[in-house]
Structure 1
């Protein structure tokens, strides 16, 4: 009996230690998310810092006027104006990937792509390519140290992050001033234009510091999660060539890809993309199975019960996106990549409100989700219609979930240029080696 009692005490002590550890982990994680937002702005910034954010673009308890501004930034009209620019940035990037003689690191390159998209399209900055490359390197240093503990010591991650932010803001201020001085020849209103004009309409003309902080947050919002999802998209198209071919069939049926293989000329439109139902299924399945962010935090507004447990008002709670997708009863064979689960014949996501929530749910759903999905759709269309690519390693890499979901080695892929018949254009050396003697 004595030994049984000791074992019970030991088990209870272990359980208590585990609960304390989990509680501390959740508390620290939440504080780190708050640091993540605080790190993007200067102390003098008066813009509200989002609370309960999970890291997806532009989620949180912001001021009412700011929510209205962001609604304009991601409205249907705004997305239509961004679309041709997004397509051009992606086309230029894929051409560069195809002209590279070696395999590329997809995760690193998609980070550069989403950064370029944020700078060129979302903010409308005309920064020379060389300066843009330097700005990206500084931005990476900033991002790598966002979650550092706030201990301001020499050579600490926090100090490096602060220094990178200062360099970034200096470069952003230069770009903002040049943008404000050069307003002619503009054929669309970008996110920064909307932010500036809307703040004036609400009697809240923004200072240069607030413009720099808002700009940095917009870049942050469009960067890591979109790069993660873009890498997952490319990996799944590599793993499932039948999905890629079915996507090409849909593009042919909609007149985006000629029957001979070459892409039709002209820019995409939102109504054209919305008519690509299988493409929508592919993007949904990528986001279901490879959600970039694990979950998020919310504040309990009213005491409620869940499975017999009372959750008091005012508590902070964490919800898991990945666990929800893995355990939701509406999804069959949850570990299988199957875009058809979202097709009209099955519509597995239609039963219940919160079985599928890659962008969060409720009133705190991601305001930038339509821009993220638009970017992924354009990338998928361009990959299917203008690219040939193959895995450059013997096996697919493992996936890590921190800080966002991505392959541990970045995913090494060789891209090829295409001739008018959609055949791969091999580098000269490879063409000579493969020639018949």
Structure 2
């Protein structure tokens, strides 16, 4: 099902449907992997509130800056999608969960999580050496690692300077007289990691690819940052970057909107029919699942011109192609059950764009760009190999000590 009118009916007819985003899961729902639906909507609303995002932002910025320094110090190219997955995993662990893990522990946990994710789509046949068995074992190992990290977090509360998402979850349980068990905490932790991981890594990779393909967009973004006194060289000024400041950057907002229009990480969502209804002359029986396509809706929306072209200015004040009908544009779903983490996702992507523009020059390390695969999330079919170089406060490339020696005159 695609098209704004049909999607409008599907996403707003609450009495007819239960809804979910269709993306990485054994049977469409992440909660089938977990033991229960870990995070109530009320808790989710606290975790992703404006106040919470303001608290997360400095930590997100630091994680991104540290990552870009590592990328720039690498002697060769990096595989962007793989590194973006590591980045979003690190963000979830350090920012959302507040775990104080060593780099070695973090890398080990990431490898286990990767094995778990890679086997999510396996047929549920529990045989030795099957993907399903590998996924179950990876999940068990992962939950043991998460339990250790949770216990250490609960025991070491001194010196903590902010409230993370897991803190909100724990306190919410206490407020309602229902302190969460360790199993519930582990499941909720895994759900938070899952929610922050695949789609954000996909969009981050698409962002870097589009900035590579469209240098004029990157330069226009730098001009906006420069005009607002935000362009920097990786030096964090306390309080300089705020959520409201980022929200006021109109061209940056256009870039991220266009990115999510053209490269929506997930293909769509679905609703389970609670009551038989009719749509366009077809009767949809109770109990059926109805899928809606986000990508097809974006591609066929009459409000967008040249839909295959990456053009952030389509969302600018002069054009505002999205003004006619909100259900022509739905990268995070729609209706009362849209993605509650969308503000965090957009904040992360905007912060990444700011840091890319401020800290790095980057170039494609291969002759051509890889093709794009749409499932399970949008990602390069091959490796997107990119070289990163650090920039100083004057936007000049930082020469490493080795390069300086090699380039010195004798």
Partner of 1:68: 42
Alignment map for 1:316-395 (pairs within 5 Å): 316-395=289-368
Which structure is richer in relative contact order (CA contacts within 8 A, separation 6 or more)?
A: 2
Q: Deviations over 1:198-222 (max 9, x none)?
A: 1222232211011001101100110
* Mapped partners of 2:172, 2:402: distance in 1: 55
2:37 aligned with 1:48: yes
* Mapped partners of 2:377, 2:297: distance in 1: 17
More displaced stretch, 422-431 vs 133-142: 422-431
Q: Are the structure 2 counterparts of residues 30 and 317 from structure 1 closer, same or farther at C-alpha, using a change threshold of 3 Å?
A: farther
Partner of 1:213: 187
Aligned residue among 139, 144, 163 for 2:118: 144
TM-score normalised by L of structure 2? 0.90
Partner of 2:89: 115
Deviation of the 1:430 alpha carbon: 5.7
* Mapped partners of 1:418, 1:208: distance in 2: 45
Q: Deviations over 1:211-250 (max 9, x none)?
A: 0011011001100000000000000000000000100110
Q: Deviations over 1:81-130 (max 9, x none)?
A: 00000000000000000000010000000000000000000000001111
Alignment map for 1:295-334 (pairs within 5 Å): 295-334=268-307
Partner of 1:294: 267
* Mapped partners of 2:380, 2:362: distance in 1: 17
More displaced stretch, 262-271 vs 295-304: 262-271
TM-score normalised by L of structure 1? 0.84
Deviation of the 1:432 alpha carbon: 7.0
Aligned residue among 284, 287, 311 for 2:257: 284
State the SS of the aligned residue for 2:389.
strand
Unaligned runs of 5+ in 2: 1-21
Paired residues, what number?
388
Unaligned runs of 5+ in 1: 1-27, 50-61
Rg bigger for which structure?
A: 1
Partner of 2:100: 126
Deviation of the 1:428 alpha carbon: 5.9
Deviation of the 1:257 alpha carbon: 2.1
2:26 aligned with 1:32: yes
Aligned 8 A contact 1:104 1:412 in 2: yes
State the SS of the aligned residue for 1:354.
helix
2:176 aligned with 1:182: no
State the SS of the aligned residue for 1:425.
coil
Alignment map for 1:388-427 (pairs within 5 Å): 388-427=361-400
RMSD: 2.2
